[in-house]
C-alpha cells in the first residue's frame, strides 16, 4: 500500500457517509458475522478479538484500525474483554478520472476497496473524530450530517498521517525495496510474483532481486515465505483456525504443501508448533464455575469446569467447529461420540478414538467390516445411514453427535439429545479428518496421516505411470439392469484418477456428475484396459448375472483378466483414512 497514491485518489474523491455505529460485543456472545454493504472503517476502542475480513485474519486490540470494501464478510470471534468498536461505512467515487494515469492508478490501488489493518500510534484524535461523528450522525439536521462528512475527511487525513509514520513512508518514499516489502506484508495471502512486484514498485525484476539480495540477503519470494510463516505462527498460537484455514489465510490452497513448507522452515509441523506454544505456562485470570451454557440462536456450548483444585488457574481450551447448520463451540474434548455415518467411524479409529455408537452399512451381512471388527467391540449399533435409530442414540447417552445431511429430518431430535454437528457427507476425506482431529484434539496425528497418504500416493503414481503407460481404468457398480459408472468427480474415483494418476476412459471425460447410469452395451464401448467392480452382499447376485453375459465376456479387461472385485462398503461407505489406504493398497497389488 503506497500511501501517496491513496492520498492522490482520496483528494479526487466524492464521498457519502452511509452509517456510523458504536458497538459492543461481550465475551461469550458468539461470533459477529455480517457482510459489508459499503466501504468500511472499523476501529477498536477496547477489548481484544480475532477479526477476519473475507478470511484474512487480524489480531485486534484497542487502537486497531481496519479498512475493507463493499461485499466483504466481517467475522469477529475469540473476544477477550468487552470489545467496543466503531463502524463507519461510506461510498466513494473519483470525480472525472479523465487522465489515463489516474484511471490506471485507481485500478491498481483501489483505495476504497483495499483491505488493510494497523495498530495506530495516536488514538486520541481518532477516537475524538469518531465520537463526534457518531453523536452528529444520530441527530436529524442536515447541518449535523454535513459535520459528519467534514469529520470523516478529518478522520481519513489523521489515519493517512499515522499510517505514514507506522509504515515508515514519507512524502518522498520511492525506495523500491521498502515499497515491495510493504506490499508483501499487506498482500501476503495473495498470489505474488517478482514480475508483479516490479511493476508495482516501478523497477525491473532483476533490479528488485538485486536489492533484496543486497540488503536482506534473500530473494523477494524468500521474504514472502518468511512473512507467511510468521503470520501462520501467529494464527496457530492465537486463533482456533484449523490447518486448512491457516493455510488459506496465508495464501496456500494446499494444506499439505503448507505443512511441508512450515516444517522445512521451523523444524516442526504446524500441529507440533501449536502444541508446543500452547503448552508453555501462561497467565490466566480466575474463572467462575459455570455449567453448560447454550447461547441463543447458535449452537455454542461451554463444558463444566470440574476437578479443579482450589486456587488452580483454569486454562480454557475450545474449538469452534463449522458445520452445515452454523458453528459449534466445544468447551472440552467430547468423551462419548455417536456417529451416524460409517465414514466418521473410520476417521475416529484412525485417530485412535472409538465412538460410543455408529450406524452400520446396509450392503453387507456383517454390521462392520472384518478389518475393523476387533476395534469395535462394545460399540452400539445406531441403525443405518438411511434409517438412524433416534432411541438407540438417546440410550447411548453421547455428549456429541456427528451426522450428515442424510439425517436432516431428525436433526432437531438429535439436538435434544446432545450437541450435534451436521457435516457434508461428500466433503473430501482429508478435510473431514481435519475436522475430526479438531474435535478430539488430535491435529498432530491427523497431519501425519495426511502426509503419509500423500507420500504413498505420490510414490505409487510414479510407479503406475511407468508400469501402465496410459492404460485406461474404469470403476463400476452393477445396479439392476444397468451399471453405475463412477467418474473422476466421484470422491473415491478421484483417488484413482487424480491422486494415483490413472487414466479414465475418454468417453467419461465430458461427464460433470459423480456417476452415470449406463447400459451393458455402453460398457462395451468404454472397453477399458482395467476394470474395478464394486460389489457387496446385496449386489452379489447382480454382479454374477452381469458376468454371465456375452457382452461382459467379450470385454478387453475380462479377456485379459484385468477385472478386480472391490468391496463397496470399504471403497465408498467407509470413506476415511483407513479405508482409503486399504483401497490404494489394493490398487497397487493388482496393477503393479
The dihedrals phi and psi of 509, each to the nearest 5 degrees, come to -65, -30
Q: In the predicted model, what is the mean pLDDT of the chain? A: 82
User: In which element (H, E) is residue 432 found?
Assistant: helix 429-440
CATH entry, 451-591, from 3.40.50.1980, 1.10.1660.10, 1.20.210.10, 3.40.190.10 = 3.40.50.1980
DSSP assignments along 458-508, one per residue: HHHHHHHHHHHTT-BEEEEEEETTEEEEE-TTSTTHHIIIIIS-PBPPGGG
CATH entry, 3-168, from 1.10.10.10, 3.90.79.10, 3.30.200.20, 2.60.120.280 = 2.60.120.280
**Band (296; pLDDT cuts 50, 70, 90):** very low
pLDDT at residue 288 is higher than 60: no
For residue 243, the tally of other CB atoms under 10 A from its CB is 27
Domains 319-441 and 451-591 share a fold: yes
Burial label for 237, CB within 10 Å (0-12, 13-18, 19+), is middle
**Distance, CA of 454 to CA of 583 (rounded, Å):** 14
pLDDT at residue 554 is higher than 80: yes
Residue boundaries of the structural domains of the chain: 3-168, 176-276, 319-441, 451-591
DSSP assignments along 51-72, one per residue: EEETTEEEEE-TTEEEEE-TTP
Average pLDDT in the 59-63 region? Answer: 86
**Distance, CA of 428 to CA of 175 (rounded, Å):** 46
pLDDT at residue 292 is higher than 70: no
pLDDT of residue 559: 93
Of 331-335, 495-499, 583-587, the range with the lowest mean pLDDT is 331-335
pLDDT of residue 99: 64
pLDDT of residue 582: 93
pLDDT of residue 30: 60
pLDDT at residue 384 is higher than 80: yes
pLDDT of residue 43: 94
Average pLDDT in the 172-194 region? Answer: 78
Long-range interactions of 456-462: CB distance < 8 A, separation 24+? 456/581, 456/584, 457/495, 457/499, 457/500, 457/584, 460/500, 460/584, 460/587, 460/588, 460/592, 461/499, 461/500, 461/501
pLDDT of residue 44: 93
Angle at 270 between CA 264 and CA 77, to 5 degrees: 140
**Distance, CA of 450 to CA of 445 (rounded, Å):** 9
**Distance, CA of 112 to CA of 89 (rounded, Å):** 11
CATH entry, 176-276, from 1.10.10.60, 3.20.130.10, 1.10.10.200, 3.40.50.720 = 1.10.10.60
**Distance, CA of 511 to CA of 507 (rounded, Å):** 8
Please tell me the CATH code under which domain 319-441 is placed. Answer: 3.40.50.1980
Residue with more model confidence, 421 or 369 = 421
pLDDT at residue 299 is higher than 60: no
**Distance, CA of 328 to CA of 421 (rounded, Å):** 7
Q: What is the pLDDT of residues 106-163, one digit of tens each?
A: 777 788 988 888 888 888 889 889 989 998 998 888 898 899 999 999 999 999 888 8
Cell of residue 44, nine digits: 477498536
Q: What is the pLDDT of residues 450-474, one digit of tens each?
A: 888 988 999 999 999 988 888 999 9
Q: How far is C-alpha 261 from the geometric centre of its chain's CA atoms?
A: 18
Q: What is the pLDDT of residues 346-375, one digit of tens each?
A: 999 999 999 999 998 766 556 677 777 767
Amino acid at each position: 500500500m503506497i500511501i501517496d497514491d491513496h492520498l492522490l485518489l482520496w483528494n479526487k474523491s466524492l464521498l457519502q457517509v452511509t452509517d456510523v455505529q458504536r458497538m459492543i460485543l461481550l465475551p461469550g456472545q458468539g461470533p459477529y458475522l455480517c457482510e459489508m454493504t459499503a466501504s468500511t472503517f472499523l476501529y477498536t476502542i477496547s477489548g481484544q478479538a480475532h477479526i477476519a475480513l473475507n478470511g484474512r485474519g487480524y489480531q485486534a486490540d484497542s487502537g486497531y484500525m481496519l479498512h475493507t470494501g463493499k461485499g466483504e464478510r466481517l467475522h469477529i470471534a475469540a473476544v477477550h474483554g468487552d470489545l467496543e468498536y466503531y463502524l463507519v461505512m461510506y461510498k466513494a467515487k473519483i470525480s472525472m478520472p479523465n487522465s489515463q494515469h489516474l484511471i490506471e492508478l485507481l485500478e491498481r490501488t483501489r483505495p476504497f476497496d483495499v483491505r488493510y489493518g494497523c495498530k495506530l500510534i495516536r488514538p486520541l484524535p481518532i477516537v475524538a473524530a469518531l465520537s463526534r461523528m457518531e453523536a452528529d450522525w444520530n441527530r436529524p439536521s442536515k447541518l449535523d450530517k454535513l459535520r459528519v462528512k467534514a469529520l470523516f475527511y478529518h478522520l481519513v487525513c489523521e489515519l493517512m498521517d499515522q499510517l505514514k509514520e507506522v509504515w515508515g513512508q514519507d512524502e518522498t518514499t520511492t525506495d523500491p525495496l521498502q515499497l515491495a516489502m510493504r506490499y508483501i506484508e499487506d498482500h501476503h495471502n495473495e498470489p505474488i510474483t517478482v514480475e508483479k512486484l516490479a511493476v508495482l514498485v516501478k523497477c525491473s525484476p532483476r533490479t528488485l532481486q538485486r536489492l533484496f539480495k543486497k540488503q536482506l540477503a534473500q530473494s523477494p519470494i524468500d521474504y514472502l515465505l518468511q512473512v507467511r510463516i510468521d503470520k501462520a505462527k501467529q494464527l496457530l498460537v492465537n486463533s482456533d483456525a484449523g490447518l486448512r484455514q491457516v493455510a488459506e489465510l496465508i495464501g496456500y490452497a494446499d494444506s499439505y504443501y503448507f505443512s511441508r513448507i512450515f516444517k522445512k522452515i521451523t523444524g516442526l509441523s504446524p500441529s507440533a508448533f501449536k502444541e508446543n506454544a500452547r503448552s508453555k505456562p501462561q497467565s490466566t485470570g480466575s474463572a467462575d464455575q459455570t455449567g453448560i451454557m447454550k447461547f441463543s440462536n447458535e449452537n455454542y456450548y461451554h463444558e463444566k469446569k470440574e476437578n479443579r483444585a482450589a486456587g488452580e488457574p483454569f486454562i480454557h481450551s475450545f474449538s469452534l467447529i463449522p458445520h452445515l447448520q452454523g458453528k459449534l463451540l466445544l468447551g472440552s474434548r467430547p468423551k462419548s461420540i455417536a456417529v451416524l455415518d460409517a465414514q466418521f467411524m473410520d476417521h475416529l479409529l484412525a485417530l485412535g478414538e472409538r465412538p460410543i455408537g455408529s450406524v452400520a452399512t446396509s450392503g453387507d451381512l456383517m454390521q462392520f467390516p472384518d478389518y475393523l471388527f476387533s476395534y469395535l467391540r462394545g460399540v452400539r449399533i445406531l441403525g443405518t445411514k438411511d434409517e438412524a435409530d433416534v432411541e438407540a442414540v438417546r440410550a447411548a447417552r453421547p455428549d456429541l453427535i456427528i451426522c450428515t445431511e442424510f439425517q436432516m429430518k431428525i436433526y432437531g431430535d438429535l439436538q435434544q439429545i446432545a450437541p450435534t454437528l451436521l457435516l457434508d457427507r461428500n466433503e473430501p476425506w482429508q478435510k473431514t479428518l481435519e475436522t475430526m482431529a479438531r474435535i478430539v484434539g488430535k491435529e498432530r496425528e491427523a497431519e501425519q496421516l495426511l502426509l503419509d497418504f500423500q507420500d504413498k500416493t505420490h510414490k505409487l503414481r510414479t510407479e503406475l505411470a511407468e508400469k501402465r503407460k496410459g492404460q485406461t481404468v474404469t470403476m463400476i457398480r452393477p445396479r439392476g439392469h444397468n451399471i453405475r459408472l463412477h467418474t473422476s468427480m466421484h470422491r473415491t474415483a478421484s483417488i484413482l484418477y487424480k491422486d494415483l494418476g490413472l487414466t479414465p476412459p475418454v468417453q467419461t471425460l465430458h461427464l460433470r456428475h459423480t456417476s452415470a447410469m449406463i447400459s451393458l452395451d455402453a460398457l462395451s464401448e468404454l472397453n477399458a484396459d482395467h476394470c474395478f467392480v464394486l460389489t457387496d452382499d446385496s449386489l452379489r447376485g447382480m454382479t454374477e448375472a452381469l458376468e454371465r453375459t456375452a457382452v461382459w465376456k467379450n470385454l478387453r479387461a475380462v479377456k485379459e483378466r484385468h477385472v478386480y472385485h472391490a468391496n463397496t462398503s470399504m471403497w465408498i461407505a467407509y470413506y476415511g483414512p483407513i479405508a482409503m489406504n486399504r483401497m490404494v493398497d489394493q490398487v497397487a497389488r493388482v496393477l503393479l
